[in-house]
Amino acid sequence: MKKVTTSTLLDMKKNGQKITALTAYDASFAKLFDEQGVDVLLIGDSLGMVLLGEDDTLTVTIEDIAYHTRAVKRGTQRAFVVADMPFMSYATPEQTYTNAATLMAAGASMVKLEGGDWLAETIKGLNQRGVPVCAHLGLTPQSVHVFGGFKVQGRDDLQAEQLLEQAQTLAKAGAQMLVLECVPSSLAQKITQAVDIPVIGIGAGVACDGQILVMHDMFGISANYMPKFSKNYLQQSGDMRQAVVDFITEVREGVFPGEQHSFN
């Protein structure tokens, strides 16, 4: 199968074809997801919670992400590989460039940053240095202590308007993809329509250009709890490969996420 690139993902948005994405942390699961046709694999700092059992993602280091990125890359032939920049690894542009280079050398084709318009100049700088960027807005887990917990973002008019403006600013700065996490479905739809880049939702409703889940949530094996926006696909199929196929099918057909997985 033809390798997925940033151009592939942009064409999928333009053509109204839903993008499928899952987190992956090792070669074996990366190979399984890749062979079933998942479009994007994210080495998420979620590994701090689902692999290490931490309460949040803040303990994850750039070395952790690079290690798992190398493993995922070895198991991947087709899917587009994105690596998270962990907490405080992009506090300054110079620090960001160094750490992004580490992840790209480990096998990533794009890095993901959490945060709003303060990242615009950093994104421009990364693009100038050949590093594609995925932005991340809404519930940004690295800011969990600022938010006072894992809470839905953008429910009031002011915050919704700010998120919309930030999405447009980051896209203009050169972000080539955007993850929206835990925002009302109506707001996610507005943002998806307002930017030209692919918008991948998680707890952001069905109108996004694609959907991503943490693999442990999709298989119902997370150590802590099952988020409202997730679905246990292994429970309904009993087979890991079929669970991935079902996820892909339901995303592409607009069945997942349903109202019960979304926020108003």
Asked if residue 253 belongs to a known ligand binding site, the reply is no
The tokens for 4 are 């997925």
C-alpha distances in Å from residue 224, one per residue of 48, 51, 56, 62, 202:
12, 11, 11, 23, 18
For residue 134, the cross-strand partners are 112, 177
Element of type H or E holding 64: helix 62-74
How far from the centroid of its chain's Cα atoms is residue 120's Cα?
Answer: 18
Q: Is 26 annotated among the ligand-binding residues?
A: no
For residues 22 and 42, the answer to whether their CB atoms sit within 8 Å is yes
**What is the Cα–Cα distance from 264 to 25, expressed in whole angstroms?**
32
What spatial distance separates the first Cα and last Cα of the chain, rounded to whole Å?
38
- For residue 192 the two structure tokens come to 């998806």
Structure tokens at 141: 């887990």
The answer, yes or no, to whether the previous bond of 257 is cis (omega within 30 of 0) is yes
- Please identify every residue annotated as catalytic: 181
Element spanning 138, H or E: strand 133-138
Half-sphere exposure of 235 (CA within 13 A, CB side): 9
Is 26 buried (19+), middle (13-18) or exposed (0-12) by CB count in 10 A?
middle
Is 112 annotated for ligand binding?
yes
CA distance 62 to 97: 12
Binding site per annotation, positions for 3-methyl-2-oxobutanoate: 45-46, 84, 112
Binding site per annotation, positions: 45-46, 84, 112, 114
Binding site per annotation, positions for Mg(2+): 45, 84, 114
